[in-house]
Amino acid sequence: MKKKKGYQKERTLSVTYGSRIPKNATHISLSFGGVRDEISVRDGVRRIILAVPEEKRGNMRTLRICARKAVFIARKEGIRMLAISMHEWVARGITPASAARMLGENMMMANYEFIALKTPPKEGWTFINTLIVSGDVVPEAKREFAKGIAIGKWVNRTRTLANTPGGLMTPALLAKQATAFAKEVGVPIKVFGKKDLENMGAGAILGVAQGSVEEPKLIIAEYKGGKKNEKPLVLVGKGVTFDTGGINLKSSDGALGMNMDMSGGAAVLCSLFCAAELGIKKNIVAIVPAVENMPSGSSYRPGDVLRGISGKTIEILNTDAEGRVILSDALTYAKKFNPALVVDVATLTGAACVALGNHASAIFTPDDAIAKKAEVLGEESGDYVWRLPLWEEYEDEIKGTFGDVANTNNKNSRYGGASHAAVFLWQFVKDAGYPWLHIDIAPRMDTVESEHLAKGAAGAPVRMLVRMMEEGA
């Protein structure tokens, strides 16, 4: 892909297999029961030795961190070639194939940093170029390694879209980049503009967008990898390319990083494009309402009442609760595709962060089986999730006074915000006739230090969504 302002050259890992390892390669070794991580040189061979508690042998959570940590250390030391022995990563139920996929994904994710807008250092950027895998690597493991590399690439593309400053990733530019990705993998894509949205009656999307000079877009990508009449998995992603809070303006600290408020939209698009690259036999649709939420003389106001595609009216109590408003139109539009399942992904609430911290996304669904499946897939992929309540008791608290439904709780309470947001969305899907899962990725919008990933967007939940597609969920 041609490099352009705000978008960076992509790096990948060249993986080779064999027992003969060049002397200039640095070996990664796991020291079970070891005391500390260290770099050692013995017999002319340099090693990165990672200490792993014996009781964590075969623990996939631990091994993910080890894979990332190895790359993190290597990059810090200026190392460009790494070598691993597969047998060290296979133990206690972890198959060569699952270990290979995990390594591919996580080493790619650790080998990423958003540098598009930075001046290169004199010595150049340090990234891992080559990974040499020794041992008897079975063909299935090789295939899964390649798959992990591809998934890691699309996670990193998600991160790049989200990391790009809002001025360089407006709704129109997001649509343009999505179109370029779609062309790359051969997926049809449509981009609806303001006039199209007016004709649809998408008053919720238009209402949020009206304060910005940047016109809204509705991005729809369709991948038809399954049978002709098979109901699709529909992914809906929040695409607020910058969120000021609108008239209910955020604080200076709160506004910083709000270019990443389109992380859900980036995730669902890149997950679909990843599925196309991998040839997953599933019909998938991605729907992204893309807007800026800006304060101006034309902004929507607290007290305004918007009417969306569903016909329901939305009473605006707070203009900073804009994500759920635009998603209401997108979730209603999803019915057009007669979906088998709708999954929406959004950096929706700070309340989810308060509830869970920064290590898991919050999930909501009225379906226990869907919730359980999501928890299993989250654990398998590393995109961890935790279910929060979606109860009818919350419905009374989002009833509107002058509209059908209020976009925040009507008690002016600061408690239960994640559930209030989820139950708001539920009003637009409960009678639609399709199963639904809401993923609030606000806790996973950006990385945390313990993950050994570059600062910025985390790229959740692409790995989980890909597994969902593979399993036909």
pLDDT tens, 244-257?
999 999 999 999 99
Residue 12: the pLDDT is 85
Q: Which position among 324, 335, 373, 463 bears the catalytic label?
A: 324
- Residue 302 sits in the same domain as residue 398: yes
Distances (CA, A) of 267 to 323, 452, 453, 462, 464: 15, 20, 17, 6, 10
Q: Identify the domain boundary among 136, 168, 187.
A: 136
d(C-alpha 45, C-alpha 26), whole Å: 7
Domain membership flag for residue 313: yes
- Residue 180 sits in the same domain as residue 62: no
Q: Locate tokens 């390319």: which residue?
A: 241
d(C-alpha 268, C-alpha 343), whole Å: 9
Domain membership flag for residue 144: no
- Residue 302 sits in the same domain as residue 397: yes
- Residue 407 sits in the same domain as residue 294: yes
9 is catalytic: no
- Residue 212 sits in the same domain as residue 101: no
- Residue 332 sits in the same domain as residue 292: yes
List the beta bridge partners of residue 224: 283
Q: Are 438 and 365 in contact (CB under 8 A)?
A: yes
pLDDT of 361-405, one tens digit each?
Answer: 999 999 999 999 999 999 999 999 999 999 999 999 999 999 999
pLDDT of 283-322, one tens digit each?
Answer: 999 999 999 999 999 999 999 999 999 999 999 999 999 9
Residue 17: the pLDDT is 93
Domain membership flag for residue 267: yes
- Residue 178 sits in the same domain as residue 89: no
Structure tokens at 337: 């595709």
d(C-alpha 333, C-alpha 317), whole Å: 24
Closest CA relative to residue 325, chosen from 210, 437, 167, 159: 210
- Residue 264 sits in the same domain as residue 388: yes
Q: Identify the domain boundary among 136, 170, 189.
A: 136
d(C-alpha 346, C-alpha 335), whole Å: 19
Structure tokens at 207: 């209402």
Q: Locate tokens 């200026």: which residue?
A: 78
Q: Say whether pLDDT at 4 is over 60.
A: no
Q: Are 185 and 278 in contact (CB under 8 A)?
A: no
Domain membership flag for residue 374: yes
Q: What is the DSSP letter of 445?
A: S
* Mean pLDDT, the chain, integer: 95
Q: Identify the domain boundary among 136, 168, 201.
A: 136
Domain count, the chain: 2
Closest CA relative to residue 208, chosen from 49, 351, 323, 83: 323
Domain membership flag for residue 5: no
d(C-alpha 465, C-alpha 132), whole Å: 29
SS3 464: helix
The residue segments making up the domain with residue 98 are 14-136
Query: Residue 64 belongs to a domain with what CATH number?
Result: 3.40.220.10
| Span 433-450, average pLDDT | 97
d(C-alpha 234, C-alpha 236), whole Å: 7
d(C-alpha 197, C-alpha 217), whole Å: 8
- Residue 186 sits in the same domain as residue 290: yes
Domain membership flag for residue 2: no
Look at the pTM and tell me if it is higher than 0.85: yes
pLDDT of 320-359, one tens digit each?
Answer: 999 999 999 999 999 999 999 999 999 999 999 999 999 9
Domain membership flag for residue 4: no
Query: Residue 316 belongs to a domain with what CATH number?
Result: 3.40.630.10
| Non-local CB neighbours of 162 within 8 Å, separated by 6+ positions | 259, 260, 262, 263, 266, 445, 456, 457, 459
- Residue 233 sits in the same domain as residue 97: no
* DSSP secondary structure, 59-109, as one string: -HHHHHHHHHHHHHHHHHTT--EEEEEGGGG--TT--HHHHHHHHHHHHHH
d(C-alpha 242, C-alpha 255), whole Å: 9
Domain membership flag for residue 142: no
- Residue 90 sits in the same domain as residue 227: no
pLDDT of 145-203, one tens digit each?
Answer: 999 999 999 999 999 999 999 999 999 999 999 999 999 999 999 999 999 999 999 99
Phi/psi of residue 448, each to 5°?
-120, 155
23 is catalytic: no
Q: What is the DSSP letter of 215?
A: P
- Residue 62 sits in the same domain as residue 194: no
List the beta bridge partners of residue 47: 27, 40
Q: Which position among 47, 194, 250, 387 bears the catalytic label?
A: 250
Residue 2: the pLDDT is 46
